[in-house]
Structure 1
Amino acid sequence: MLIVPRLWIAAFALLLAGCAAAPEPTPVSSETTTAAGEQLSDQDLQAKWWTWAASSPENRNPVVDDTGQWCAENQPKDVWFFAGTFGGAVNRRCQVPAGRPLAGPAVNLASTDANCTAFMANAKGSVTLDGQLMELRRIAPVAITYQAARDNVVGQREGRVPAQGCGLWAWIPPLKPGEHELLVKGQSGTFTTTARYLLIVSSSD
């Protein structure tokens, strides 16, 4: 079985609607990247994110984290990952290295092809940065393999885990130094989650 318990939805983002008369903001394309922020392939992006999510136990896992104290836990050197929650709302305050692109799912799943297809049919989401809606990349089920650590929070046995990965993903070019607000919010079926990040970007690594 490839279904990840408790992580049917690892991170969501559903933009809250304003008043009915207010026009929705135009999504900012995530295709605008720098040489330091070239996008990963669908397979590599999901495999790296799931490896990150499954690399630490519950008491220090960045997906479970409700304050931001574990934001930097096992972050890769070439991208800075963010996540939603396992359900409910959190506020996180995180330090982000300069020159690092950000990436994370608005909604995602690692399971079987059939489960991914059914999951995506009911999933919706968005990500906002400093009040601006980000463009999301829709990834249909694709074969991935990620690495799960011992006592990982996703409930998998230690070692390599094959799965079908799917979801709505945001890729954000490196941010300017200073403070930024990232809102990850959404739902799939009866599951809802909200993660609000206050990001403090350093002036240098």
Structure 2
Amino acid sequence: MKIRTVGAGLTAVMLAALVGCGTRAGQEGGEAREAREAGEGRLSSRTLQGRWWTWASTEPERTNPVADQNGSACERNQPEDVWFLAGTFGTRAKRTCGIPAGMPIAFPLLNRVGEPADCAGFMRTAEGSAVLDGRKLASDIYEGEPIEVRSVAGNPVTGTDGRFTTIGCGLWVQLPPLEPGRHTLTIRGRSGDFSTGVDYTLTVDAASG
């Protein structure tokens, strides 16, 4: 686990998962990128990062999805319109996770929050891959932009509670809903001396009715 300073005395954890290929989202104007993503039915980079970090930092360590080793915390605090997956604090994990039918999925391959310089250095060496059912996934690269995060006391992700604005960056994947049934997702990542990996077994429920 790597800790970085966030703003005035706050701390945040560099999380993981990672990248294969993708577009340089950070080189596209923010408003243009958000309009494009909205048109594709995807969350904008600011919305995605802010919501994911809030989701990850609203659980104590015992039930935190990033600290989870087997998938038992997979369903904690999931929103109604997207299903988040998490990396690890620098270890390897194998998780089994059930996902409702018709739910889009989003997860970081490698991500962090901090000052602009922190993100610049972090993204310079970020690399990795995500493979779904044997198929390598493309990813989006978010070089760094302001996001708002809300966290609770006792969480192992930010180590603080309250609302704050910081710079978010990372390598991200957004997927449309998967077909019902069993899927495998392998995530590997590295930036500098930090590495992580998760092997997911995802079971998507059959649509009701």
TM-score by length of 2: 0.83
Identity %: 40
Q: 2:59 aligns with which of 56, 66, 73?
A: 56
Q: Counterpart in 1 of 2:77?
A: 74
Contact 2:146 2:167 in 1 (8 A): yes
Matched, 1:12 2:17: yes
Which residue type is aligned with residue 175 of structure 2? I
Q: For residues 204 and 149 of structure 1, what CA distance do their matches in structure 2 show? A: 34
Residues 118-145 of structure 1, C-alpha deviation per residue, up to 9 Å, x if partnerless?
Answer: 1100111221111111110011110000
Q: Secondary structure at the match of 2:6?
A: coil
What is the deviation of 1:152? Answer: 1.3
Shift in Å, 1:115: 0.4
Amino acid at match of 2:112: L
Give the equivalent residue in structure 2 for 1:2.
6
What is the SS of the residue equivalent to 1:103? strand
Instruction: Give the letter aligned to residue 185 of structure 1.
Output: R
Q: Tell me the secondary structure at the aligned position of residue 62 of structure 2.
A: helix
Gaps of 5+ in 2: 23-37
> Is the CA contact 1:125–1:168 (under 8 Å) kept in the aligned structure 2?
no
The two structures, once aligned, show a CA RMSD in angstroms of: 2.0
Q: Please, which runs of 5 or more residues in structure 1 have no aligned partner?
A: 16-25, 28-34
User: Going by fraction, where is strand more abundant, 1 or 2?
Assistant: 2
Deviations 1:147-166 (A, max 9, x none): 10121112332111211000
State the distance in 1 between where 2:19 and 2:121 align. Answer: 18
Q: Distance in 1 between matches of 2:87 and 2:160?
A: 23
User: Greater shift after overlay, 99-108 or 123-132?
Assistant: 123-132
Residue identity matched to 1:186: G
Alignment of 1:24-173 (within 5 A): 38-173=41-176
Show CA shifts across 1:12-68 (max 9, x none). 2366xxxxxxxxxx98xxxxxxx9x82111100000000011010000001100000
* Partner Cα distance (1:146, 1:6) in 2: 11
Q: Where does residue 174 of structure 1 map in the other structure?
A: 177
CA distance in 1, matches of 2:180, 2:104: 13
Quote the offset at 1:5 in angstroms: 4.7
Find runs of 4+ consecutive structure 1 residues off by over 6 angstroms: none
| Larger relative helix fraction | 2
